[in-house]
Structure 1
Amino acid sequence: MSETGGVREVKSAARTVELLELLAARGDRPARLQELAEELQVPRSSMYALLQTLISRGWVRTDSTGSLYGIGIHALLTGTSYLDTDPRVRAVRPYLDEASQALGETVHMGRLDGRDVAYLATRESHEYLRTISRVGRRLPAHVGALGKALLAERPDADLPQGPYEALTPRTHTDRESLRADLTNIRSRGFSVDREEGVTGIIGFGFALRYDSPAQDAISCSVPVARLTPAHEEQIIAVMREIRTRIEATAPGAGGAPNWR
Protein backbone atom coordinates (compact mmCIF):
# COMPACT_ATOMS: atom_id res chain seq x y z
CA MET A 1 0.00 0.00 0.00
CA SER A 2 1.49 3.35 -1.03
CA GLU A 3 1.71 6.39 1.22
CA THR A 4 0.48 9.95 0.65
CA GLY A 5 1.81 12.64 2.97
CA GLY A 6 2.88 9.97 5.45
CA VAL A 7 -0.60 8.37 5.52
CA ARG A 8 -1.23 4.99 3.96
CA GLU A 9 -3.35 5.19 0.80
CA VAL A 10 -6.76 3.52 0.98
CA LYS A 11 -6.74 0.98 -1.82
CA SER A 12 -10.49 0.97 -2.47
CA ALA A 13 -10.62 4.77 -2.63
CA ALA A 14 -7.60 4.89 -4.96
CA ARG A 15 -9.21 2.30 -7.23
CA THR A 16 -12.45 4.28 -7.38
CA VAL A 17 -10.61 7.47 -8.34
CA GLU A 18 -8.53 5.63 -10.95
CA LEU A 19 -11.71 4.22 -12.50
CA LEU A 20 -13.41 7.61 -12.67
CA GLU A 21 -10.30 9.22 -14.17
CA LEU A 22 -10.06 6.46 -16.76
CA LEU A 23 -13.70 6.85 -17.79
CA ALA A 24 -13.34 10.65 -17.93
CA ALA A 25 -10.23 10.39 -20.09
CA ARG A 26 -12.08 8.22 -22.62
CA GLY A 27 -14.52 11.03 -23.35
CA ASP A 28 -17.20 9.83 -25.76
CA ARG A 29 -15.72 6.32 -26.00
CA PRO A 30 -17.59 4.16 -23.47
CA ALA A 31 -15.73 1.17 -22.04
CA ARG A 32 -16.63 -2.48 -21.51
CA LEU A 33 -16.16 -4.31 -18.25
CA GLN A 34 -13.24 -6.38 -19.53
CA GLU A 35 -11.42 -3.28 -20.80
CA LEU A 36 -11.69 -1.57 -17.43
CA ALA A 37 -10.68 -4.66 -15.50
CA GLU A 38 -7.59 -5.15 -17.68
CA GLU A 39 -6.58 -1.48 -17.68
CA LEU A 40 -6.72 -1.19 -13.90
CA GLN A 41 -5.58 -4.79 -13.29
CA VAL A 42 -8.64 -5.60 -11.20
CA PRO A 43 -10.61 -8.90 -11.20
CA ARG A 44 -13.78 -8.72 -13.29
CA SER A 45 -15.97 -9.49 -10.28
CA SER A 46 -14.45 -6.65 -8.24
CA MET A 47 -14.70 -4.22 -11.14
CA TYR A 48 -18.34 -5.17 -11.75
CA ALA A 49 -19.21 -4.58 -8.09
CA LEU A 50 -17.44 -1.21 -8.11
CA LEU A 51 -19.22 -0.14 -11.29
CA GLN A 52 -22.63 -1.08 -9.91
CA THR A 53 -21.97 0.90 -6.74
CA LEU A 54 -20.97 3.98 -8.73
CA ILE A 55 -23.92 3.61 -11.12
CA SER A 56 -26.33 3.58 -8.18
CA ARG A 57 -24.81 6.84 -6.94
CA GLY A 58 -24.72 8.59 -10.32
CA TRP A 59 -20.94 8.65 -10.79
CA VAL A 60 -20.99 6.14 -13.64
CA ARG A 61 -23.64 5.53 -16.29
CA THR A 62 -24.35 2.49 -18.41
CA ASP A 63 -26.28 1.79 -21.61
CA SER A 64 -29.57 -0.08 -21.90
CA THR A 65 -27.76 -3.40 -22.25
CA GLY A 66 -25.60 -2.82 -19.17
CA SER A 67 -22.44 -3.60 -21.15
CA LEU A 68 -21.00 -0.13 -21.78
CA TYR A 69 -19.84 2.32 -19.11
CA GLY A 70 -19.13 6.04 -19.09
CA ILE A 71 -18.68 8.90 -16.65
CA GLY A 72 -21.87 9.91 -14.81
CA ILE A 73 -23.65 13.17 -14.13
CA HIS A 74 -22.40 13.48 -10.55
CA ALA A 75 -18.91 14.04 -11.92
CA LEU A 76 -20.25 17.12 -13.70
CA LEU A 77 -22.05 18.36 -10.60
CA THR A 78 -18.92 18.00 -8.49
CA GLY A 79 -16.80 19.74 -11.11
CA THR A 80 -19.28 22.61 -11.27
CA SER A 81 -19.08 22.95 -7.49
CA TYR A 82 -15.30 23.27 -7.78
CA LEU A 83 -15.63 26.14 -10.24
CA ASP A 84 -18.40 27.87 -8.29
CA THR A 85 -16.49 27.80 -5.01
CA ASP A 86 -13.00 28.68 -6.26
CA PRO A 87 -12.37 32.35 -5.37
CA ARG A 88 -9.81 32.85 -8.16
CA VAL A 89 -12.17 31.58 -10.86
CA ARG A 90 -14.99 33.78 -9.58
CA ALA A 91 -12.67 36.79 -9.57
CA VAL A 92 -11.36 36.21 -13.09
CA ARG A 93 -14.66 35.52 -14.88
CA PRO A 94 -15.79 39.19 -15.20
CA TYR A 95 -12.43 40.12 -16.68
CA LEU A 96 -12.72 37.35 -19.25
CA ASP A 97 -16.08 38.79 -20.27
CA GLU A 98 -14.51 42.23 -20.61
CA ALA A 99 -11.55 40.98 -22.65
CA SER A 100 -13.75 38.93 -24.98
CA GLN A 101 -16.05 41.89 -25.61
CA ALA A 102 -13.15 44.27 -26.20
CA LEU A 103 -11.31 41.95 -28.58
CA GLY A 104 -14.10 39.94 -30.17
CA GLU A 105 -12.02 36.81 -29.59
CA THR A 106 -12.11 33.70 -27.41
CA VAL A 107 -10.42 34.01 -24.02
CA HIS A 108 -9.60 31.34 -21.44
CA MET A 109 -8.46 30.80 -17.89
CA GLY A 110 -6.43 27.68 -17.12
CA ARG A 111 -4.65 26.12 -14.15
CA LEU A 112 -1.53 23.99 -14.10
CA ASP A 113 -2.24 20.45 -12.92
CA GLY A 114 0.87 18.31 -13.00
CA ARG A 115 2.12 18.36 -16.59
CA ASP A 116 -1.21 19.49 -17.99
CA VAL A 117 -3.32 22.62 -18.00
CA ALA A 118 -7.00 22.34 -17.08
CA TYR A 119 -9.39 24.87 -18.60
CA LEU A 120 -11.46 26.50 -15.84
CA ALA A 121 -13.30 29.23 -17.78
CA THR A 122 -13.84 30.11 -21.43
CA ARG A 123 -15.58 32.93 -23.24
CA GLU A 124 -16.18 32.06 -26.89
CA SER A 125 -15.93 34.52 -29.75
CA HIS A 126 -19.04 35.09 -31.86
CA GLU A 127 -16.85 35.59 -34.92
CA TYR A 128 -16.13 31.92 -35.57
CA LEU A 129 -17.68 28.62 -34.57
CA ARG A 130 -14.69 26.36 -34.16
CA THR A 131 -14.39 25.50 -30.48
CA ILE A 132 -10.79 24.87 -29.48
CA SER A 133 -11.37 24.26 -25.80
CA ARG A 134 -14.02 23.72 -23.20
CA VAL A 135 -14.21 23.98 -19.44
CA GLY A 136 -12.72 20.83 -17.97
CA ARG A 137 -10.53 20.04 -20.96
CA ARG A 138 -6.89 19.20 -20.28
CA LEU A 139 -3.97 19.86 -22.59
CA PRO A 140 -0.26 19.10 -22.14
CA ALA A 141 1.39 22.22 -20.74
CA HIS A 142 4.04 22.32 -23.49
CA VAL A 143 1.39 22.65 -26.21
CA GLY A 144 -0.50 25.93 -25.83
CA ALA A 145 -0.27 29.53 -24.71
CA LEU A 146 -1.66 28.89 -21.22
CA GLY A 147 0.72 26.06 -20.44
CA LYS A 148 3.82 27.73 -21.86
CA ALA A 149 3.10 30.92 -19.92
CA LEU A 150 3.05 28.86 -16.72
CA LEU A 151 6.08 26.73 -17.59
CA ALA A 152 8.05 29.94 -18.13
CA GLU A 153 7.39 30.80 -14.46
CA ARG A 154 9.36 27.72 -13.42
CA PRO A 155 13.02 26.68 -13.78
CA ASP A 156 13.89 24.77 -16.93
CA ALA A 157 15.28 22.01 -14.74
CA ASP A 158 11.68 21.03 -13.95
CA LEU A 159 10.95 20.20 -17.60
CA PRO A 160 10.63 16.50 -18.46
CA GLN A 161 13.26 15.13 -20.80
CA GLY A 162 10.91 14.39 -23.69
CA PRO A 163 10.17 13.64 -26.41
CA TYR A 164 6.86 15.46 -26.04
CA GLU A 165 3.50 14.67 -27.58
CA ALA A 166 2.79 16.53 -30.85
CA LEU A 167 -0.72 17.83 -31.53
CA THR A 168 0.25 19.66 -34.72
CA PRO A 169 3.39 19.81 -36.89
CA ARG A 170 4.34 23.00 -35.00
CA THR A 171 4.25 21.53 -31.48
CA HIS A 172 7.51 21.55 -29.52
CA THR A 173 8.51 17.90 -29.23
CA ASP A 174 11.99 18.19 -27.68
CA ARG A 175 13.29 19.81 -24.51
CA GLU A 176 15.77 22.18 -26.14
CA SER A 177 13.21 23.66 -28.51
CA LEU A 178 10.79 24.24 -25.65
CA ARG A 179 13.52 25.75 -23.46
CA ALA A 180 14.41 28.27 -26.16
CA ASP A 181 10.75 29.28 -26.44
CA LEU A 182 10.43 29.66 -22.65
CA THR A 183 13.46 31.95 -22.64
CA ASN A 184 11.74 34.20 -25.17
CA ILE A 185 8.52 34.12 -23.13
CA ARG A 186 10.35 35.30 -20.01
CA SER A 187 11.93 38.11 -22.02
CA ARG A 188 8.71 39.44 -23.56
CA GLY A 189 6.44 38.68 -20.59
CA PHE A 190 3.84 36.53 -22.37
CA SER A 191 3.65 33.35 -24.44
CA VAL A 192 2.69 32.88 -28.08
CA ASP A 193 1.26 29.65 -29.45
CA ARG A 194 1.50 29.77 -33.22
CA GLU A 195 -0.61 26.79 -34.30
CA GLU A 196 1.15 24.49 -31.82
CA GLY A 197 -2.06 23.20 -30.24
CA VAL A 198 -4.62 23.67 -33.02
CA THR A 199 -3.84 24.24 -36.69
CA GLY A 200 -5.15 27.62 -37.77
CA ILE A 201 -5.27 29.11 -34.25
CA ILE A 202 -2.78 31.46 -32.58
CA GLY A 203 -2.86 32.06 -28.83
CA PHE A 204 -1.34 34.61 -26.46
CA GLY A 205 -0.88 33.55 -22.82
CA PHE A 206 -0.32 35.58 -19.64
CA ALA A 207 0.56 34.05 -16.27
CA LEU A 208 -1.37 35.40 -13.27
CA ARG A 209 1.20 36.03 -10.57
CA TYR A 210 -0.98 36.09 -7.46
CA ASP A 211 0.74 32.80 -6.61
CA SER A 212 4.48 32.13 -6.75
CA PRO A 213 5.13 30.33 -8.94
CA ALA A 214 1.97 31.14 -10.89
CA GLN A 215 -0.63 28.37 -11.07
CA ASP A 216 -3.18 30.17 -13.26
CA ALA A 217 -3.01 31.92 -16.61
CA ILE A 218 -5.29 33.64 -19.10
CA SER A 219 -5.06 33.53 -22.88
CA CYS A 220 -6.66 34.87 -26.04
CA SER A 221 -7.09 32.70 -29.15
CA VAL A 222 -7.62 34.00 -32.67
CA PRO A 223 -7.79 32.38 -36.13
CA VAL A 224 -4.69 32.94 -38.24
CA ALA A 225 -6.82 34.35 -41.07
CA ARG A 226 -8.03 37.23 -38.86
CA LEU A 227 -4.77 38.09 -37.08
CA THR A 228 -3.30 41.28 -38.49
CA PRO A 229 -0.29 43.02 -36.91
CA ALA A 230 -2.59 45.74 -35.58
CA HIS A 231 -4.97 43.20 -34.05
CA GLU A 232 -2.07 41.34 -32.47
CA GLU A 233 -0.89 44.57 -30.82
CA GLN A 234 -4.44 45.20 -29.57
CA ILE A 235 -4.69 41.69 -28.10
CA ILE A 236 -1.39 42.01 -26.25
CA ALA A 237 -2.26 45.45 -24.88
CA VAL A 238 -5.73 44.43 -23.69
CA MET A 239 -4.59 41.14 -22.16
CA ARG A 240 -1.69 42.82 -20.37
CA GLU A 241 -4.08 45.35 -18.84
CA ILE A 242 -6.55 42.62 -17.88
CA ARG A 243 -3.76 40.62 -16.23
CA THR A 244 -2.65 43.64 -14.20
CA ARG A 245 -6.20 44.29 -13.00
CA ILE A 246 -6.79 40.64 -12.11
CA GLU A 247 -3.58 40.46 -10.10
CA ALA A 248 -4.57 43.64 -8.23
CA THR A 249 -8.05 42.40 -7.27
CA ALA A 250 -8.01 38.58 -7.14
CA PRO A 251 -7.90 36.99 -3.66
CA GLY A 252 -4.32 36.51 -2.49
CA ALA A 253 -2.96 33.69 -0.44
CA GLY A 254 -4.12 35.40 2.73
CA GLY A 255 -7.69 35.88 1.48
CA ALA A 256 -8.52 32.29 0.65
CA PRO A 257 -7.81 28.79 1.95
CA ASN A 258 -4.40 27.49 0.91
CA TRP A 259 -5.74 24.56 -1.11
CA ARG A 260 -3.32 21.77 -2.05
Structure 2
Amino acid sequence: MSSPTNSALGGGAQVKSAVRTVELLEYFAGNTGMHSLAEVQEQTGYPKSSLYMLLRTLVELGWVETDATGTRYGIGVRALLVGSSYIDGDEVVAASRPTLDRLAEDTGETIHLARLDGTNVVYLATRQSQHSLRPFTRIGRRLPAYCTSHGKALLATHPDERIRQLLPAELEPLTEHTHTDREKLIEELHEIRERGYAIDREENTLGLRCFGIAIPYRTPARDAVSVSVPIARLTPGREQMIRDALFDARDRLTLATRHL
Protein backbone atom coordinates (compact mmCIF):
# COMPACT_ATOMS: atom_id res chain seq x y z
CA MET A 1 0.00 0.00 0.00
CA SER A 2 1.11 3.50 -0.60
CA SER A 3 1.98 5.61 2.40
CA PRO A 4 -0.19 8.68 3.14
CA THR A 5 2.69 10.89 1.96
CA ASN A 6 3.00 9.07 -1.33
CA SER A 7 -0.78 9.20 -1.85
CA ALA A 8 -0.79 12.92 -1.20
CA LEU A 9 2.08 13.45 -3.57
CA GLY A 10 0.36 11.33 -6.22
CA GLY A 11 -2.83 13.38 -5.90
CA GLY A 12 -0.85 16.58 -6.23
CA ALA A 13 0.93 15.27 -9.33
CA GLN A 14 -2.41 14.37 -10.92
CA VAL A 15 -3.75 17.88 -10.27
CA LYS A 16 -0.59 19.43 -11.71
CA SER A 17 -0.92 17.28 -14.82
CA ALA A 18 -4.56 18.29 -15.24
CA VAL A 19 -3.68 21.97 -14.93
CA ARG A 20 -0.92 21.62 -17.51
CA THR A 21 -3.29 19.83 -19.88
CA VAL A 22 -5.89 22.60 -19.65
CA GLU A 23 -3.27 25.33 -19.99
CA LEU A 24 -1.81 23.61 -23.04
CA LEU A 25 -5.20 23.34 -24.73
CA GLU A 26 -5.90 26.99 -23.94
CA TYR A 27 -2.53 27.91 -25.48
CA PHE A 28 -3.43 26.15 -28.74
CA ALA A 29 -6.92 27.65 -28.68
CA GLY A 30 -5.49 31.15 -28.37
CA ASN A 31 -2.68 30.67 -30.90
CA THR A 32 -4.02 29.30 -34.15
CA GLY A 33 -1.92 27.30 -36.57
CA MET A 34 0.74 24.69 -35.93
CA HIS A 35 3.59 25.08 -33.46
CA SER A 36 6.88 23.28 -32.91
CA LEU A 37 7.71 21.56 -29.65
CA ALA A 38 10.40 24.18 -28.98
CA GLU A 39 7.93 26.99 -29.54
CA VAL A 40 5.34 25.47 -27.20
CA GLN A 41 8.00 24.79 -24.58
CA GLU A 42 9.24 28.38 -24.76
CA GLN A 43 5.73 29.76 -24.33
CA THR A 44 4.59 27.39 -21.56
CA GLY A 45 7.85 26.87 -19.70
CA TYR A 46 7.11 23.16 -19.18
CA PRO A 47 10.03 20.69 -19.11
CA LYS A 48 10.53 19.48 -22.69
CA SER A 49 10.40 15.77 -21.86
CA SER A 50 7.11 15.94 -19.93
CA LEU A 51 5.67 18.34 -22.49
CA TYR A 52 6.46 15.89 -25.29
CA MET A 53 4.75 13.02 -23.44
CA LEU A 54 1.71 15.18 -22.71
CA LEU A 55 1.46 16.22 -26.36
CA ARG A 56 1.74 12.59 -27.51
CA THR A 57 -1.13 11.63 -25.18
CA LEU A 58 -3.31 14.50 -26.39
CA VAL A 59 -2.59 13.61 -30.01
CA GLU A 60 -3.63 9.99 -29.39
CA LEU A 61 -6.87 11.21 -27.77
CA GLY A 62 -7.64 13.67 -30.57
CA TRP A 63 -7.36 16.87 -28.53
CA VAL A 64 -4.20 17.92 -30.37
CA GLU A 65 -3.25 17.31 -34.02
CA THR A 66 0.12 17.19 -35.77
CA ASP A 67 1.19 18.17 -39.25
CA ALA A 68 2.43 15.70 -41.87
CA THR A 69 5.91 15.65 -40.31
CA GLY A 70 4.57 14.91 -36.84
CA THR A 71 6.73 17.69 -35.39
CA ARG A 72 4.26 20.58 -35.23
CA TYR A 73 1.16 20.71 -33.08
CA GLY A 74 -2.23 22.44 -33.10
CA ILE A 75 -5.68 22.17 -31.55
CA GLY A 76 -7.57 18.97 -32.37
CA VAL A 77 -11.10 18.21 -33.49
CA ARG A 78 -12.25 17.02 -30.05
CA ALA A 79 -11.96 20.58 -28.79
CA LEU A 80 -14.53 21.58 -31.40
CA LEU A 81 -16.90 18.84 -30.26
CA VAL A 82 -16.71 19.97 -26.64
CA GLY A 83 -17.12 23.64 -27.60
CA SER A 84 -20.15 22.82 -29.72
CA SER A 85 -21.75 20.86 -26.90
CA TYR A 86 -21.31 23.87 -24.59
CA ILE A 87 -23.14 26.13 -27.05
CA ASP A 88 -25.82 23.55 -27.81
CA GLY A 89 -26.59 23.00 -24.14
CA ASP A 90 -26.50 26.62 -22.98
CA GLU A 91 -29.90 27.86 -21.83
CA VAL A 92 -29.17 31.53 -22.53
CA VAL A 93 -28.12 30.80 -26.09
CA ALA A 94 -31.30 28.80 -26.65
CA ALA A 95 -33.56 31.42 -25.05
CA SER A 96 -31.97 34.28 -26.99
CA ARG A 97 -32.31 32.87 -30.52
CA PRO A 98 -35.66 34.50 -31.44
CA THR A 99 -34.49 37.87 -30.12
CA LEU A 100 -31.15 37.69 -31.95
CA ASP A 101 -32.99 36.81 -35.16
CA ARG A 102 -35.35 39.76 -34.74
CA LEU A 103 -32.54 42.18 -33.87
CA ALA A 104 -30.64 41.11 -36.99
CA GLU A 105 -33.76 41.58 -39.10
CA ASP A 106 -34.59 44.98 -37.56
CA THR A 107 -31.09 46.43 -37.93
CA GLY A 108 -29.71 44.54 -40.92
CA GLU A 109 -26.36 44.44 -39.12
CA THR A 110 -24.15 41.83 -37.45
CA ILE A 111 -25.36 40.73 -34.02
CA HIS A 112 -23.36 39.08 -31.23
CA LEU A 113 -24.20 37.38 -27.97
CA ALA A 114 -21.15 37.29 -25.72
CA ARG A 115 -20.27 36.13 -22.21
CA LEU A 116 -17.84 37.63 -19.72
CA ASP A 117 -15.05 35.17 -18.88
CA GLY A 118 -12.62 36.76 -16.46
CA THR A 119 -11.34 39.87 -18.23
CA ASN A 120 -12.40 38.69 -21.69
CA VAL A 121 -15.63 38.23 -23.59
CA VAL A 122 -16.34 35.05 -25.53
CA TYR A 123 -18.73 35.00 -28.50
CA LEU A 124 -21.56 32.51 -27.96
CA ALA A 125 -23.78 33.31 -30.94
CA THR A 126 -23.72 35.56 -33.98
CA ARG A 127 -26.00 36.68 -36.78
CA GLN A 128 -24.15 37.94 -39.84
CA SER A 129 -25.18 41.08 -41.69
CA GLN A 130 -26.52 40.64 -45.21
CA HIS A 131 -24.44 43.59 -46.42
CA SER A 132 -21.28 42.93 -48.40
CA LEU A 133 -19.37 45.24 -46.05
CA ARG A 134 -19.56 43.48 -42.67
CA PRO A 135 -17.30 42.36 -39.84
CA PHE A 136 -16.07 38.77 -39.74
CA THR A 137 -16.66 37.01 -36.44
CA ARG A 138 -16.82 33.44 -35.21
CA ILE A 139 -18.35 31.66 -32.27
CA GLY A 140 -15.71 31.07 -29.62
CA ARG A 141 -13.75 34.21 -30.46
CA ARG A 142 -12.24 35.82 -27.37
CA LEU A 143 -11.47 39.52 -26.96
CA PRO A 144 -10.50 41.76 -24.04
CA ALA A 145 -13.69 43.05 -22.42
CA TYR A 146 -12.37 46.61 -22.10
CA CYS A 147 -12.31 47.19 -25.88
CA THR A 148 -15.68 45.78 -26.94
CA SER A 149 -19.16 47.22 -26.51
CA HIS A 150 -20.63 44.09 -24.92
CA GLY A 151 -17.56 43.73 -22.72
CA LYS A 152 -17.80 47.30 -21.44
CA ALA A 153 -21.56 46.89 -20.91
CA LEU A 154 -20.78 43.86 -18.72
CA LEU A 155 -17.90 45.51 -16.86
CA ALA A 156 -20.22 48.43 -16.06
CA THR A 157 -22.38 46.09 -13.97
CA HIS A 158 -19.44 45.63 -11.56
CA PRO A 159 -18.36 48.21 -8.94
CA ASP A 160 -15.27 50.30 -9.62
CA GLU A 161 -13.14 48.44 -7.09
CA ARG A 162 -13.88 45.14 -8.79
CA ILE A 163 -12.73 46.63 -12.11
CA ARG A 164 -9.48 47.68 -10.44
CA GLN A 165 -9.01 44.12 -9.19
CA LEU A 166 -9.72 42.64 -12.63
CA LEU A 167 -7.72 44.97 -14.88
CA PRO A 168 -4.16 46.31 -14.73
CA ALA A 169 -3.57 50.05 -14.54
CA GLU A 170 -2.26 50.04 -18.12
CA LEU A 171 -4.31 48.28 -20.79
CA GLU A 172 -2.92 46.83 -24.00
CA PRO A 173 -4.25 48.65 -27.09
CA LEU A 174 -5.72 46.72 -30.02
CA THR A 175 -6.11 49.90 -32.10
CA GLU A 176 -5.19 53.55 -31.71
CA HIS A 177 -8.65 54.14 -30.19
CA THR A 178 -8.42 51.53 -27.41
CA HIS A 179 -8.50 52.72 -23.80
CA THR A 180 -5.04 52.20 -22.31
CA ASP A 181 -5.72 53.86 -18.95
CA ARG A 182 -7.86 51.85 -16.54
CA GLU A 183 -9.10 54.96 -14.72
CA LYS A 184 -10.26 56.52 -17.98
CA LEU A 185 -12.10 53.30 -18.73
CA ILE A 186 -13.77 53.45 -15.31
CA GLU A 187 -14.94 56.98 -16.09
CA GLU A 188 -16.58 55.66 -19.24
CA LEU A 189 -18.18 52.82 -17.29
CA HIS A 190 -19.92 55.48 -15.16
CA GLU A 191 -21.40 56.95 -18.34
CA ILE A 192 -22.46 53.49 -19.53
CA ARG A 193 -24.33 52.87 -16.28
CA GLU A 194 -26.21 56.14 -16.73
CA ARG A 195 -27.25 55.70 -20.36
CA GLY A 196 -27.75 51.91 -20.20
CA TYR A 197 -25.58 50.81 -23.14
CA ALA A 198 -21.94 50.84 -24.26
CA ILE A 199 -20.20 51.98 -27.44
CA ASP A 200 -17.03 50.57 -28.99
CA ARG A 201 -15.58 53.37 -31.09
CA GLU A 202 -13.14 51.44 -33.30
CA GLU A 203 -11.46 50.14 -30.15
CA ASN A 204 -10.80 46.61 -31.38
CA THR A 205 -11.43 46.93 -35.14
CA LEU A 206 -10.78 50.03 -37.21
CA GLY A 207 -13.76 51.22 -39.23
CA LEU A 208 -16.27 49.47 -36.98
CA ARG A 209 -18.55 50.92 -34.31
CA CYS A 210 -20.45 48.60 -31.98
CA PHE A 211 -23.27 49.12 -29.51
CA GLY A 212 -23.70 46.70 -26.61
CA ILE A 213 -26.17 46.16 -23.80
CA ALA A 214 -26.10 43.77 -20.83
CA ILE A 215 -28.83 41.20 -20.20
CA PRO A 216 -29.89 41.68 -16.54
CA TYR A 217 -31.03 38.16 -15.69
CA ARG A 218 -28.32 38.10 -13.02
CA THR A 219 -26.27 40.71 -11.13
CA PRO A 220 -23.53 41.40 -12.05
CA ALA A 221 -24.52 40.59 -15.60
CA ARG A 222 -22.78 37.73 -17.37
CA ASP A 223 -24.08 38.03 -20.95
CA ALA A 224 -24.60 40.90 -23.36
CA VAL A 225 -25.79 41.48 -26.91
CA SER A 226 -24.28 43.88 -29.43
CA VAL A 227 -24.78 45.35 -32.89
CA SER A 228 -21.71 45.98 -35.09
CA VAL A 229 -21.89 48.60 -37.83
CA PRO A 230 -19.24 49.76 -40.31
CA ILE A 231 -18.81 53.51 -39.82
CA ALA A 232 -19.44 54.02 -43.55
CA ARG A 233 -23.08 53.00 -42.94
CA LEU A 234 -23.60 54.83 -39.66
CA THR A 235 -25.71 58.00 -39.74
CA PRO A 236 -27.19 59.79 -36.67
CA GLY A 237 -30.66 58.50 -37.55
CA ARG A 238 -29.39 54.95 -38.00
CA GLU A 239 -27.49 55.12 -34.73
CA GLN A 240 -30.69 56.09 -32.89
CA MET A 241 -32.58 53.25 -34.55
CA ILE A 242 -29.92 50.76 -33.44
CA ARG A 243 -30.04 52.03 -29.86
CA ASP A 244 -33.83 51.69 -29.79
CA ALA A 245 -33.59 48.17 -31.22
CA LEU A 246 -31.02 47.23 -28.58
CA PHE A 247 -33.22 48.39 -25.71
CA ASP A 248 -36.12 46.43 -27.19
CA ALA A 249 -33.86 43.36 -27.47
CA ARG A 250 -32.78 43.77 -23.83
CA ASP A 251 -36.41 43.82 -22.70
CA ARG A 252 -37.18 40.72 -24.74
CA LEU A 253 -34.10 38.90 -23.46
CA THR A 254 -34.94 39.87 -19.88
CA LEU A 255 -38.29 38.14 -20.27
CA ALA A 256 -36.79 35.17 -22.11
CA THR A 257 -34.17 34.57 -19.41
CA ARG A 258 -36.23 35.38 -16.31
CA HIS A 259 -36.38 31.68 -15.32
CA LEU A 260 -32.59 31.19 -15.45
Residue identity opposite 1:21 in structure 2:
E
Instruction: Tell me if structure 1 keeps the 8 A contact 2:110–2:135.
Output: no
Match of 2:200 in 1: 193
Match of 1:168 in 2: 175
Runs of 4+ in 1 over 6 A off after TM superposition: none
TM-score by length of 1: 0.91
Match of 1:223 in 2: 230
Match of 1:11 in 2: 16
Instruction: Tell me if structure 1 keeps the 8 A contact 2:104–2:110.
Output: yes
In 1, Cα distance between equivalents of 2:254 and 2:53: 48
Match of 1:258 in 2: none
Displacement of 1:131: 3.0
Instruction: Tell me if structure 2 keeps the 8 A contact 1:110–1:217.
Output: yes
Matched, 1:85 2:89: yes
Match of 1:31 in 2: 35
Which structure 2 residues correspond to residues 227-238 of structure 1 after superposition, within 5 A?
A: 227-238=234-245
SS in 2 for 1:65: coil
In 2, Cα distance between equivalents of 1:206 and 1:212: 14
**Comparing 91-100 with 116-125, which one deviates more in the overlay?**
91-100
In 1, Cα distance between equivalents of 2:138 and 2:61: 26
Identity %: 49
Match of 1:75 in 2: 79
Which structure 2 residues correspond to residues 1-260 of structure 1 after superposition, within 5 A?
A: 10-28=15-33, 30-159=34-163, 160-250=167-257, 252-253=259-260
SS in 1 for 2:146: coil
In 2, Cα distance between equivalents of 1:42 and 1:183: 42
SS in 2 for 1:142: helix
**Pairs aligned (count):** 246
Displacement of 1:129: 4.4
In 1, Cα distance between equivalents of 2:235 and 2:255: 30
Residue identity opposite 1:43 in structure 2:
P
In 2, Cα distance between equivalents of 1:37 and 1:131: 34
In 2, Cα distance between equivalents of 1:229 and 1:39: 46
Instruction: Tell me if structure 1 keeps the 8 A contact 2:134–2:229.
Output: no
* Aligned alpha-carbon RMSD (Å): 1.5
Residue identity opposite 2:242 in structure 1:
I
SS in 2 for 1:14: helix
Instruction: Tell me if structure 2 keeps the 8 A contact 1:116–1:147.
Output: yes
SS in 1 for 2:229: strand
TM-score by length of 2: 0.91
Deviation by residue 1:222-244 (Cα, 9 ceiling, x = unmatched)? 01010111111111111111110
Which consecutive unaligned segments of at least 5 residues does structure 1 have?
1-6, 254-260
SS in 1 for 2:205: coil
Match of 1:3 in 2: none
Match of 1:256 in 2: none
Deviation by residue 1:8-52 (Cα, 9 ceiling, x = unmatched)? 670111111111111111113x21112222332322221111111
Instruction: Tell me if structure 2 keeps the 8 A contact 1:88–1:251.
Output: no
Instruction: Tell me if structure 1 keeps the 8 A contact 2:135–2:228.
Output: no
Instruction: Tell me if structure 1 keeps the 8 A contact 2:134–2:230.
Output: no
Match of 1:257 in 2: none
Residue identity opposite 2:194 in structure 1:
S
Residue identity opposite 1:49 in structure 2:
M
Instruction: Tell me if structure 2 keeps the 8 A contact 1:207–1:216.
Output: yes
Instruction: Tell me if structure 2 keeps the 8 A contact 1:87–1:251.
Output: no
